[in-house]
Amino acid sequence: MKDLDDYLVEAENNHGHMCPGQILGVRMAMLGCRLVGIDEPRVGKRIIVYVEIDRCATDAINTVTGCRLGKRTLKFRDFGKLAATFLNTETNEAVRVVALESSRDLARECFGHLETKKAQQMEAYHTLPDEKLFTWSRVSVALPESDRPGHPTSRVACEECGEGINDHREVVVDGRSICRSCAGEAYYQALPD
């Protein structure tokens, strides 16, 4: 694994700017990988990461691990929490790492001499030990075949709109296989022509 500063340079290039969330994300990913026994996360598809927020830290986690949605190694669960679960697919070891809410106050306490909250947080998140920034616990993650990297395990056409559905994501309504959008879970609304 690279060192923190090398990953921070990559994270800034990948994300477009450096911020406290980037530093926390890099540190979280490095810690998560170490805790599940992965020294070089970008080699192969040995790690799957579940992120719980769609903010800056997620891009940093991607930078360190190489996990991506398109590779099916990054899973997004919209819980709004600065947390991620790291799963070693070879050993099935998993750990969930959560950023401590108290780290914000600790940044102000330890680095109050710096002018801005951002500067205080960036310095704290760069230098404080993992125990002051995160909590973590061993967890179990059930990873069905349909969620693993690789080719789709199934493909059916929605009996309502005709669009293809991969990996058992269809729902059965009145005996018909339909997509989640047609089942009422659409995030969009079609406009008239």
What is the amino acid identity at position 159? E
The residue among 1, 2, 51, 56 whose CA lies nearest residue 24 is 56
Distances (CA, A) of 148 to 75, 117, 167, 178: 10, 40, 10, 22
User: 4-143 sits in which CATH class?
Assistant: alpha beta
The residue among 71, 24, 10 whose CA lies nearest residue 46 is 71
One digit per residue, pLDDT tens: the chain, 193 residues? 899 999 999 999 999 999 999 999 999 999 999 999 999 988 778 999 999 999 999 999 999 999 999 999 999 999 999 999 999 999 999 999 999 999 999 999 999 999 999 999 999 999 999 999 999 999 999 998 888 888 889 999 999 999 999 999 999 999 999 999 999 999 999 899 8
- The Cβ of residue 112 has, within 10 Å, a number of other Cβ atoms equal to 10
User: 151-185 sits in which CATH class?
Assistant: alpha beta
CA neighbours closer than 13 Å in the CB half-sphere of residue 170: 22
3-state SS class at 162: coil
d(Cα 110, Cα 123) in Å, to the nearest integer? 9
User: What is the maximum span of the chain, computed from C-alpha positions, in angstroms?
Assistant: 66
Question: Contact at 8 Å (CB) between 33 and 82?
Answer: no
The pair of structure tokens assigned to 13 is: 């290039």
For the chain, residues classed under CATH 3.30.60 are 151-185
Beta bridge partners, 49, equal 74, 86
d(Cα 96, Cα 24) in Å, to the nearest integer? 14
d(Cα 76, Cα 6) in Å, to the nearest integer? 26
d(Cα 124, Cα 103) in Å, to the nearest integer? 8
pLDDT at 146: 86
For the chain, residues classed under CATH 3.30.1330.130 are 4-143
Question: Contact at 8 Å (CB) between 107 and 124?
Answer: yes
pLDDT at 114: 94
Question: Contact at 8 Å (CB) between 114 and 36?
Answer: no
pTM given for the model? 0.90
